[in-house]
Amino acid sequence: MSSIESPAPGAYEISTDQKRLDVQAIHAYLTRSYWSPGIPLEIVERALRHSLCFGAYESATGRQVGLARVVTDYATFAYLCDVYVLEEHRAHGVGKRLMRELMAHPALSGARRIMLATRDAHGLYAGFGFVEAGAAKNLMEVVRPDIYARN
């Protein structure tokens, strides 16, 4: 397939099987992302191990091309993070498929609150019911964007 052809429908699959996660590939992406530059491999491994992860895979090769990681209590709360689709696989609906499967997952479909932070994907998430937190006077946070640079 040439690089300008669009993959056939069903050319991607989504899985929550932890064994399929390509930790090295996930780490490689996250270290160059705007939200976790320089994140150590050990931190990525631990985060994946203790989260509900949705991997996106190219059907023909089994290669991981995307991820959505959810930190959750599997009942009432979920925090969506580390969502990405490799650049060459964007605009093929992979992000929307990840979100559709994530929002329908039994561990998340009854959650009272699902939160996330994004700098540039508001449109994607709005399509799944996410809204800005507004004044968010009841939400507080500790933010340490350079935490991995300190080690």
pLDDT, tens digit, 9 for 90 and up, residues 93-122: 999 999 999 999 999 988 999 999 898 888
Return the closest-CA partner of residue 97 out of 122, 65, 120, 130: 65
**pLDDT one-digit tens code per residue, 14-64:** 999 999 999 999 999 999 999 999 999 999 999 999 999 999 999 989 999
pLDDT of residue 96: 93
Q: How far apart are CA 48 and CA 129, in angstroms?
A: 25
Backbone angles phi, psi at 79, to 5 degrees: -120, 120
pTM: 0.86
pLDDT of residue 27: 98
The superfamily CATH assigns to domain 12-149 is Gcn5-related N-acetyltransferase (GNAT) (3.40.630.30)
Return the closest-CA partner of residue 99 out of 112, 86, 116: 116
Burial of 41 per CB tally in 10 Å (0-12, 13-18, 19+): middle
